[in-house]
């Protein structure tokens, strides 16, 4: 049983690390601000979620695990909202979205 829990936790954490890595590569490689937000907005949400779930599984059924779940729920609501807020500020500020064929910014 202990092995299964450890394996689940390891799988979740590795998945989180993988999505963090792809989000970072996307943030570095995508051509403009809005496409970069795609990378961080989605990638970081799932990555944080997976990492926190991994920690919670490792922790077992305890108060700390519940707190980790609370953080996960918070991030789940807050991350898309923050992404939306920045993108909205960008478009109101007058940033032009990149279209196919342009130079990357």
Binding to other proteins, residues 73-102 (CB under 8 A): 74-75, 77-95, 97-100
Q: What's the Cα-to-Cα distance from 94 to each of 13, 41, 45, 60, 91, rounded to whole Å? A: 39, 21, 27, 49, 5
Choose between 4 and 59: whose C-beta lies nearer to other proteins: 59
Residue 26 sits in the site that holds other proteins (CB under 8 A) = yes
The answer to the question of residue 22 lying near other proteins (CB under 8 A) is yes
36 touching other proteins, by CB under 8 A: yes
How many distinct helices (H) and strands (E) make up the chain? 3, 0
Binding flag, residue 68, other proteins (CB under 8 A): yes
The whole-angstrom separation of Cα 5 and Cα 105 is 45
Q: Is 12 in the site for other proteins (CB under 8 A)?
A: no
């Amino acid at each position: 049983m202990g092995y299964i829990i450890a394996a689940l936790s390891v799988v979740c954490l590795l998945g989180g690390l993988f999505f963090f890595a792809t989000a970072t590569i996307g943030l570095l490689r995508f051509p403009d601000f809005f496409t970069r937000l795609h990378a961080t907005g989605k990638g970081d949400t799932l990555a944080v979620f997976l990492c926190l779930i991994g920690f919670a599984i490792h922790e077992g059924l305890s108060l700390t695990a519940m707190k980790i779940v609370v953080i996960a729920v918070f991030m789940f609501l807050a991350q898309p909202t923050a992404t939306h807020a920045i993108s909205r500020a960008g478009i109101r500020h007058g940033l032009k979205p990149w279209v196919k064929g342009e130079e990357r910014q």
